[in-house]
Structure 1
Amino acid sequence: MQLPKTFERLIEDATQLNLYKKLIVQLNKDFLLANIDLDFHEDVLPSSLKLILHETVFKLIQEKFTEYLNLLYIIDVAENKVKALNGDDTLKLSEDVMFLILQREWQKVWFKHTYS
């Protein structure tokens, strides 16, 4: 599987395969497991998804770092990918982490769809 390199490509792939709603369900499931109060409606627009998810990750990094680390663990974002990011700008870091979260969630949804 080739992971999408941009948010737009990820959403396009999910929409083409009719898996966008399953992506949202997977996000909601993992955020619930991490005890983070974030619940997207299945019909959320991609632009709203991106904005809210980015804002949530930013707040977690700034205010609840332990919960942020727990979320990354539950979603299973690769530690080496997070460590490879530049942490000088928290806003940019949170945007990059948001995309890593979406990539990993997309990977889970795609594998379930393809192999079940």
Structure 2
Amino acid sequence: MNFVAPLNTIQLLSEAEKENLYSKLIDQINKDFNFANEAIDFPQSTSPDELKVQLHEKVYRLIQYKYTELLNLLYIIDVPEDTVKQLDGSDTVELSEQIAFLILKREWMKVWFRNRY
């Protein structure tokens, strides 16, 4: 089975749950955020909806107050820089939602491949 990139956060999280990899996705997010010195600790009991909202809020705060740290986080997670540059930054709420999705997508890719190979 080949990796198919999800089109949105809801599709991504439901795919992670369907493949029983949701807890590994949470672990990967926690690991990379902590590695970037951006303390975050999603418990395994975090629902997909809570994860989506809390991640969005964290990215929003990083954009507002710690932009350099956000760039470092994106580098550590390995979100492609050109993809981020293509986003429209005129609405910070929308931008943070899009960046949160890019983070989730990259983390999901890592978990999916590690599980398959």
**Separation in structure 2 between the aligned mates of residue 52 and residue 17 of structure 1, nearest angstrom:** 22
By how many angstroms is 1:73 displaced? 0.4
Amino acid at match of 1:62: Q
**Secondary structure, aligned partner of 2:49:** helix
The 5-angstrom pairing of residues 83-98 of structure 1 reads 83-98=85-100
Counterpart in the other structure of 2:23: 21
User: Where do 4+ consecutive residues of structure 1 move more than 6 Å?
Assistant: none
1:63 positional shift: 0.3
Equivalent of 1:112 in 108, 111, 114: 114
Query: What do you get for the CA RMSD once the two structures are aligned?
Result: 0.6
Deviation at 1:6, TM superposition (A): 1.1
Structure 1 Cα separation of the partners of residues 70 and 15 of structure 2: 27
Give CA-to-partner distance per residue, 1:49-99, whole Å, 9 cap, x none: 011100000000110011100100000001111011100011100000000
> What's the TM-score, normalizing by structure 1?
0.97
> Could you list the runs of 5+ residues in structure 2 that have no partner in the other structure?
none
Asked if 1:58 corresponds to 2:65, the answer is no
Higher RCO (CA 8 Å, separation ≥ 6 residues): 2
Cα offset for 1:2?
1.3
